[in-house]
Amino acid sequence: MKFIRTEIPEVVICEPKVFEDHRGYFFESFSKKLLEEFVGHKLHFCQDNESKSSYGVLRGLHFQKPPFTQAKLVRVIEGKILDVAVDVRQGSPTFGNYFSIELSSENKKQLFVPRGFAHGFVVLSSTAVFSYKCDNYYSPEHDSGVLYNDQELTIDWKIPEQDLILSEKDLKQPSFKYMKNFDFQNNLYA
């Protein structure tokens, strides 16, 4: 497994070593030990989620408020998506910045999205199966988000606005300027 820091250093691209032959392929999709060594702290993934969506479906931007913040390790099993992580940690040197990457069943890349980040994705292929590990349980009372097309963030979702399909919840998320965000000084992994 190869780990690559992005321009937001806490957000990490994970590239597995894929072994292919005439039978198909094999790769190690997760190593707790290796990822913990790279990010520099313990991870306690406790919940796996999976969704299937069609072209244009945009899910996000979501996060959970303390004490139920979540880190995620995300990947695509089938299809192709644009994955986005937005830094919502007040006081962070990259506060309000985002990182985006295409994840697909072809490139087999994964993205580690740490606590303190809003996360979302849009489907670029006809359908996509998306899978992710969470290091904290879902808590509806702590569920929050940021509006996907917020003017401060200026995220390029790579598909025309008229092709986007969003839930009512995601259409009504607050704008970034009204966020009561995480304090960067607090240890999100205590």
Cα 86 to Cα 66: distance, rounded to the nearest angstrom: 17
Alpha helices, H only, the chain: 32-39, 168-171
Closest CA to 118 of 172, 165, 64: 64
**Which among 55, 132, 148, 189 is annotated as catalytic?**
132
> Is 119 a known active-site residue?
no
Residues 96 and 154: beta-carbon distance below 8 Å: no
Asked whether the beta carbons of 76 and 150 are under 8 A apart, the reply is: no
Check 62, 98, 119, 148 and give the catalytic one. Answer: 62
Catalytic residue status for 62: yes
Whole-Å CA distances, 88 to 56, 74, 115, 118, 134: 25, 18, 9, 7, 18
Are 119 and 63 within 8 A, CB to CB? yes
Question: What's the CA gap between 118 and 160, in Å, rounded?
Answer: 22
- Alpha-carbon torsion (61, 64, 66, 68), positive or negative: negative
Active-site annotation, residues: 62, 132
